[in-house]
Amino acid sequence: MIKWITKLFSSTQKEENTDNMKPEVHEHQKNNIKSVSKKYLIVGLGNIGAEYVNTRHNIGFKVLDFLAKKESLSFETVKLGALAEYKFKGRSFFLLKPNTYMNLSGKAVKYWMDKENIPLENILVITDDLNLSFGTIRIKPKGSDGGHNGLKNINLVLNTQQYTRFRFGISDQFKKGQQIDYVLGDWDEEEKAKLPERLEVASEIIKSFGTAGLENTMTTFNGK
């Protein structure tokens, strides 16, 4: 009986000692573990409708269409847009083309961000930019809307400007008073010839954003 009690006490003591040897996980460490996400929401801005397909303003849609075709992905009509899921190196990229029209893009972004539980830092918004020459790339972790109605609505709905945007230059080669016609106009022949190479680079940016991180992606691609 005494031997049994001694054995039990010894076993319990070993368990206690083993527990004491386990590394302590602080609350902030737990939060950091929970915050690591391998889901990314890639939003291409544009307008739905056949008349907008090849317009400069729809470069966001065009980038996602290019990547989807390259990777043999299909877009599915879902709530507030068209969605395709691209899996690459253990990450899930949700490619979203909002069907809300440009001025209400934020509604779709917020819905899918919440639905898939994607953190703000894992959102990349692709948009056209008049202030950059054709095909020039500018990736920034935050910023103002720059007069872009799509970004303006996203800022309003998310109540923040702290999300990554990928600006694709469409240049500003239009006469005074013709900005709307230019933005909603088709690419010219020279631009069409150069687009495939630019779209290839754009698709690599998306993959780099999720695998190499924002800082490395900016260093590699900004100004290219």
Write out the DSSP string of the chain.
-HHHHHHHHHHHHHHHHHHHHSPP--HHHHHHHHH---EEEEEE----SGGGTTBGGGHHHHHHHHHHHHTT---EEETTEEEEEEEETTEEEEEEEESS-GGGHHHHHHHHHHHTT--GGGEEEEEEETTS-TT-EEEESS---TT-HHHHHHHHHHT---SEEEEEE------TT-HHHHHTSBP-HHHHHHHHHHHHHHHHHHHHHHHT-HHHHHHHHTT-
- In the annotated binding site for tRNA, the residues are 52, 101, 103, 149
- In the annotated binding site, the residues are 52, 101, 103, 149
**pLDDT value of residue 37:** 82
How far is residue 198's CA from residue 211's CA, in Å, rounded to a whole number?
20
Q: Is the pLDDT of residue 107 over 90?
A: yes
Q: Lowest mean pLDDT: which of 15-29, 68-82, 128-142, 198-212? A: 15-29
For residue range 18-68, what is the model confidence (pLDDT) as tens digits? 444 444 544 444 444 344 789 999 999 999 999 999 999 999 999 999 999
> Are the C-beta atoms of 128 and 59 separated by less than 8 Å?
yes
Q: Is the pLDDT of residue 8 over 50?
A: no
**pLDDT value of residue 169:** 96
What residues are annotated to the active site? Answer: 57
**pLDDT value of residue 28:** 44
pTM of the model: 0.83
